[in-house]
A and B are shown apart, each in its own frame.
Chain A
């Protein structure tokens, strides 16, 4: 029991530690990247349980802000192969276990 408790604590710790948004790959301009990252964090925190709603929110906001048409994938385990417009891709981790990929391609 102690071990499980410790494990839980560790998990909680590492989740806390690792919950900051970490950008894995991006070719956006600085301003755009920061804004998009914040948007993703907001959305994921708001819809912590529902990835689809979070993705919907991100996509709609991005469409309004930066033009159509954006694609958003949020998940914990997936592989992807995408074609994106140059300088319009953001691939980041968040919350210790979530990965968010945002790209534009019309």
Chain B
């Protein structure tokens, strides 16, 4: 029993000692309980031995010893007074106080922890965070964090402890517990001040453990540069002056001035004239100078223009030079005309081409005369000289009041052109001079012809004019009367005095320069006006004529009847022999077609009939062969000159037999034609006989 009591007492001791209890109470009760427990322990140990009695122990009888004494455990504070009486002034008597505070505080400790979520707690945490950021190194931050964590844990522990304690003393001691918590909170608030001084102290352990970082902006590298200006040019000068120097200088100056005055007085007019002359010369000199640069540029500009043209018409130039129509081999004697450059000039668009002539010296230069075949309307005329090197603009331009009917180059002086006009004038243009006016012009006084001048030819500076009136005039006053109006004529190539004249009526007269009044022979050639007559360049006897009666006829001047007749089904404007072959000639008809014949190959048909001008209502008027290149130029009513290249079939030379030498030259050509003619003649001769 005493053991049980001892156990109970131990429980009693340990229970309150678990929670917080006031020190005094705890201390006191602990002592007594300890004593009791040691006694109990001793008693148990000494049971075997004789009971050890303390001197002041109550002596009890055995019966009293065996008596059971009940002890009850209550939560009441044994120290607390139980019968407090208070005087109530209301009832005027003493009253017993019912409720007594049973809380016995065994232990109290003032803590310095505050809850994290309270205002002060938040403030402190922010402050500590700032301080943590200030410290650059991590370890102090970590340690501070750890310290914070520890604080928090402690706070949490104390809070938990506070809660547990509160929980334990619930029921009767709730108010006391709450009061205690409130007291604790107040104590905690008071204890807040110690923590802030702790925060700066946290940095101390990290003071000697920080990392340095430095950086510097880039700077431009320095460079030295020096320069020096050129020294100003300077000269040395020295002199000495004395009074006599000054005097002498003045005297000299005065003398000079006097002389100058005298000169002025003595010859005023002469000087003035000289000055004027000088002024004029200066002007002219200036003009010349002014003009010179332009002329210098003109040459360069001309070359540039030609280059540009060559580039523009490059393919045509290539064709002109190198292209040979390969399909001619398959065409079996047929040929083609490949169109090359077109020459046209703005101002001549309304004029018809009336004459074409190649320059005998410069093989790429040709002259074109413009006028009008419409006898009702007659406008102005132009003579343009084109070169193959510049198809876009004529080299020389001459304009005249009257339409140009015919023109020709002088064979010995290739810079002279004789031009016949519609109004009967004949002019000679000199290409060497820069003026656009003719050098010589026949005027009314010198026997001008009233009708249009159809054709002229320059031979040895002689000009033969053939007029529409029916007279023929040469330079020596040679006059011939024809019955009809002359329309065309041609001089024999070799026999100087022999020439042919064609008339409007269709007759051809053979004349001689030496016989002024009579013609040698007449041919009844055509039914309509003879447009062109031309001697064969190789054969001495043959000439060709064409007319508006749609025919082209080839004659031997000894025989009255034509050798060959070709009907072209349209009025023939012009016919021309080729310069390289005696049997090739070309004709143009007013329907815009060009016909090329080669008697050697085909006596009856044209080798090539090709439409040259594309526009409707455009008649081709003239045709000319280039003496050197295998091209022909065709002029039409619209002022357009078309140049065409002859395909190889049209340019055939007679095939040489194997083993024989190739003979070239006029003899061969003549022989070729002679052979042909003989074929024609023999049957005729036979027929005649």
Beyond A77-B242, A78-B240, A99-B241, is A84–B249 a contact (Cβ under 8 Å)? no
Q: How many angstroms from the CA of A33 to the CA of B240 in the assembled complex? A: 21
**B234 engages A105 (CB within 8 Å):** yes
Q: Is A4 an interface residue (CB 8 A)?
A: no
Binds B, one of A36-44, A51-59, A88-96: A88-96
Q: Is A25 an interface residue (CB 8 A)?
A: yes
**A83 engages B235 (CB within 8 Å):** yes
Collect the chain B residues with CB atoms within 8 Å of residue A27's CB.
235
**A22 engages B233 (CB within 8 Å):** no
Beyond A24-B249, A85-B232, A99-B246, is A80–B239 a contact (Cβ under 8 Å)? yes
Q: Is A103 an interface residue (CB 8 A)?
A: yes
Collect the chain A residues with CB atoms within 8 Å of residue B247's CB.
14, 18, 96
Query: By CB atoms of chain A within 10 A, which of B232, B236, B249, B250 has the most?
Result: B250
**B234 engages A91 (CB within 8 Å):** no
Q: How many angstroms from the CA of A93 to the CA of B245 in the assembled complex? A: 10
Collect the chain A residues with CB atoms within 8 Å of residue B235's CB.
27, 83-86, 89
Q: Is B524 an interface residue (CB 8 A)?
A: no
Collect the chain B residues with CB atoms within 8 Å of residue A83's CB.
234-237
Q: How many angstroms from the CA of A86 to the CA of B241 in the assembled complex? A: 22
Q: Is A45 an interface residue (CB 8 A)?
A: no
- Chain A, range 42-74, C-beta contacts under 8 Å to B: none
CB < 8 Å neighbour of B236 from A14, A81, A91, A97:
A81
The residue of chain B having its C-beta at the shortest distance from the C-beta of A89 within the complex is: B237
Q: Is A76 an interface residue (CB 8 A)?
A: yes
**A82 engages B250 (CB within 8 Å):** no
B273 to chain A, nearest CB (A): 29
Collect the chain B residues with CB atoms within 8 Å of residue A29's CB.
none
Q: Is B292 an interface residue (CB 8 A)?
A: no
**A79 engages B232 (CB within 8 Å):** no
Q: How many angstroms from the CA of A82 to the CA of B237 in the assembled complex? A: 5
**A84 engages B234 (CB within 8 Å):** yes
- Categorize the interface residue count of chain A: 20 to 34
The residue of chain A having its C-beta at the shortest distance from the C-beta of B244 within the complex is: A77
Q: How many angstroms from the CA of A106 to the CA of B232 in the assembled complex? A: 9
**B253 engages A22 (CB within 8 Å):** yes
Q: Is B254 an interface residue (CB 8 A)?
A: yes
CB < 8 Å neighbour of B238 from A17, A81, A86, A98:
A81
Q: Is B243 an interface residue (CB 8 A)?
A: yes
Q: How many angstroms from the CA of A97 to the CA of B239 in the assembled complex? A: 16
The residue of chain A having its C-beta at the shortest distance from the C-beta of B252 within the complex is: A22
Collect the chain A residues with CB atoms within 8 Å of residue B236's CB.
81-84
Beyond A83-B234, A86-B234, A105-B234, is A91–B250 a contact (Cβ under 8 Å)? no
Collect the chain A residues with CB atoms within 8 Å of residue B242's CB.
77
B390 to chain A, nearest CB (A): 52
Q: How many angstroms from the CA of A77 to the CA of B244 in the assembled complex? A: 9
Q: How many angstroms from the CA of A2 to the CA of B239 in the assembled complex? A: 38
**B239 engages A79 (CB within 8 Å):** yes
Beyond A77-B243, A93-B246, A96-B246, is A103–B237 a contact (Cβ under 8 Å)? yes
| Interface positions of B (Cβ within 8 A of A) | 232-243, 245-247, 249-251, 253-254
Q: What are some 21 contacts across the A-B interface (CB < 8 A)?
A: A22-B249, A22-B253, A25-B239, A27-B235, A76-B241, A79-B241, A82-B236, A82-B238, A83-B234, A83-B235, A83-B236, A83-B237, A85-B233, A86-B232, A86-B233, A89-B235, A93-B241, A97-B246, A99-B241, A99-B245, A103-B237
| Interface positions of A (Cβ within 8 A of B) | 14, 17-18, 22, 24-25, 27, 75-86, 89, 91, 93, 96-99, 101, 103, 105-106
List of 7 A-B pairs having minimum Cβ-Cβ separation, nearest first: A79-B240, A18-B250, A81-B238, A86-B233, A99-B241, A85-B234, A77-B242
